[in-house]
């Protein structure tokens, strides 16, 4: 087996494939990358899988002798990074137990597996596909809100919902305490709703980026394909919550318009004294958005300049400071902030919407226009002796 391939292309491929390969495991072939060299097509096929996610690449190469082998994934990616020439060559020894990998004056001799036990993918091509782009942006703006409860294997919230329409695409993630919805205007080739496992999203970003890809379902497997790659991941069966209905039921009582950069800067300043997972108190005042936090490390209080349409009475509501910071990270320009009477907050920007629940459901604040009818007082009880007198 002998072939030569472009090093930078091989490096990019191996870095993504190595994400699926552990250092050790019961099936040794699964710790490596399958490389198949085809003399007739002049292309290499490189595959890695963890049995839930399979990633396959096809790339051109100069192939003198075809064959197949499995090389340790992380080891191979590391070698591609250390070489500094434009091309790298592979040639197996006649003994059939080792391969020489060299580029310029650098050379490695490493053992390989014949790949007889590497599981070949049996995923059929999807019957229906949609063509879309901008996946990386949609994922980055929403993935932090998805559930990461690794112990709940059947939790449907450990998926992102991707809705594709002819003129735009939406991605939704939620863990029930917060909700993120990103919208991207684009021209797509169809209409489809897909559930993408959260654990597959970092790899999806790295492989697909914002380039145009095709997506579709093959049985219970979600398949993405693009320029020289196929990414297949198992999906969970179930119904994702109707988040659109949830958002429509939030009726803000208190509203403000604020600059995203200024608001996030003040949230970040609070981070100098708050511990991860702690909560900051937020209230809309006539002077702006008031933030307050106090802990054993210190106290923080500031007011962000904002156009507050109607300020709230009382101390306000407590929100997870990390959630606030993550929500504002992807927003620019003026934001609309709306808070209902129980503290549920909507943060809206261009093509983005975030929903946050307060730490605790504080006592609902009565609407200003709602008048309460006082109940008639009961007559005071009298002592029997006084009544007799």
Tokens of 295: 């802990």
Q: In this prediction, what percent of the chain has a pLDDT beyond 70? A: 89
Q: What is the DSSP letter of 360?
A: S
Are 102 and 168 found together in one domain? no
* Domain endpoint, select from 242, 264, 296: 242
Residue 272 is predicted with a pLDDT of 66
Are 291 and 331 found together in one domain? yes
Mean pLDDT of 215-241: 92
Do the domain assignments include residue 383?
no
* Domain endpoint, select from 188, 220, 242: 242
Sheet strands (E) in 2-65: 2-6, 32-38, 43-49, 53-60, 62-65
Tokens of 98: 């080792």
Residue 121 is predicted with a pLDDT of 77
Query: 76 or 125, which is more confident?
Result: 76
- Domain count across the chain: 3
Are 196 and 266 found together in one domain? no
Do the domain assignments include residue 26?
yes
Do the domain assignments include residue 116?
no
Is the pLDDT confidence value at 362 over 60? no
From first CA to last CA, the distance across the chain in angstroms is 117
Are 289 and 323 found together in one domain? yes
Are 154 and 216 found together in one domain? yes
Do the domain assignments include residue 120?
no
The span from the CA of 54 to the CA of 49, in Å, is 4
Are 181 and 136 found together in one domain? yes
Are 135 and 238 found together in one domain? yes
Are 238 and 254 found together in one domain? no
The count of C-alpha atoms lying within 13 angstroms of the C-alpha of 90, restricted to the half-sphere facing its C-beta, is 28
Are 195 and 219 found together in one domain? yes
Confirm if 332 and 300 have CB atoms less than 8 A apart: no
Q: Phi first, then psi: what are they for 153, rounded to 5°?
A: -65, -25
Closest among 110, 113, 115 to 45, alpha carbons compared:
115
Do the domain assignments include residue 375?
no
Is the pLDDT confidence value at 343 over 90? yes
Are 53 and 107 found together in one domain? yes
The count of C-alpha atoms lying within 13 angstroms of the C-alpha of 295, restricted to the half-sphere facing its C-beta, is 14
Do the domain assignments include residue 107?
yes
Residue 153 is predicted with a pLDDT of 59
Do the domain assignments include residue 388?
no
Q: Phi first, then psi: what are they for 208, rounded to 5°?
A: -85, -35
pTM: 0.83
Are 137 and 221 found together in one domain? yes
Expressed as residue numbers, the domain containing 168 is 129-242
Mean pLDDT of 29-56: 94
- What CATH number is given to the structural domain containing 219? 3.10.150.10
**Predicted confidence band of residue 372 (pLDDT cuts 50, 70, 90):** very low
Do the domain assignments include residue 362?
no
Are 102 and 135 found together in one domain? no
Q: Find the radius of gyration of the CA atoms of the chain.
A: 29
**Predicted confidence band of residue 120 (pLDDT cuts 50, 70, 90):** confident
Which tens digit of pLDDT belongs to each residue from 143-176? 999 987 755 557 899 999 999 999 999 999 999 8
């Amino acid at each position: 087996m002998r072939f030569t391939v472009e090093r930078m292309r091989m490096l990019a491929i191996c870095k993504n494939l190595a994400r699926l390969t552990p250092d050790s495991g019961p099936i040794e072939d699964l710790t490596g990358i399958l490389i198949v060299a085809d003399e007739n097509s002049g292309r290499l096929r490189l595959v890695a899988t963890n049995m839930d996610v399979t990633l396959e690449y096809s790339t051109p190469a100069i192939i003198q002798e075809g064959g197949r082998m499995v090389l340790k994934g992380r080891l191979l990616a590391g070698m591609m990074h250390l070489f500094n020439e434009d091309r790298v060559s592979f040639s197996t020894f006649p003994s059939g137990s080792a391969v020489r990998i060299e580029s310029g004056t650098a050379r490695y001799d490493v053992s390989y597996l014949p790949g007889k036990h590497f599981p070949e993918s049996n995923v059929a091509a999807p019957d229906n596909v949609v063509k879309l782009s901008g996946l990386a942006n949609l994922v980055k703006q929403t993935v932090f809100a998805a559930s990461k409860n690794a112990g709940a294997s059947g939790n449907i919230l450990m998926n992102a919902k991707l809705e594709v329409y002819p003129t735009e695409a939406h991605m939704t993630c939620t863990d029930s305490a917060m909700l993120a919805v990103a919208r991207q205007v684009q021209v797509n080739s169809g209409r489809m709703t897909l559930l993408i496992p959260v654990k597959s999203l970092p790899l999806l970003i790295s492989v697909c980026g914002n380039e145009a890809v095709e997506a579709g379902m093959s049985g219970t497997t979600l398949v993405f394909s693009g320029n020289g790659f196929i990414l297949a991941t198992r999906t969970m069966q179930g119904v994702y919550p109707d988040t659109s209905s949830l958002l429509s039921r939030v009726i803000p009582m208190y509203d403000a318009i604020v600059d995203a950069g200024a608001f996030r800067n003040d949230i970040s300043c609070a981070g100098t004294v708050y511990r991860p997972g702690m909560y900051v108190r937020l209230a809309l005042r006539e002077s702006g958005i008031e933030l307050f936090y106090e802990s054993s490390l210190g106290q923080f209080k500031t007011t962000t300049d904002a156009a507050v349409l109607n300020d709230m009475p009382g101390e306000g509501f407590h929100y997870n400071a990390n959630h606030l910071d993550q929500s504002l990270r992807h927003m620019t320009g003026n934001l609309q902030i709306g808070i209902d009477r129980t503290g549920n907050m909507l943060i809206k920007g261009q093509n983005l919407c975030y929903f946050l629940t307060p730490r605790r459901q504080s006592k609902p604040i009565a609407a200003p226009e709602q008048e309460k009818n006082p109940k008639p007082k009961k007559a005071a009880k009298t002592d029997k002796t006084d009544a007799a007198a």
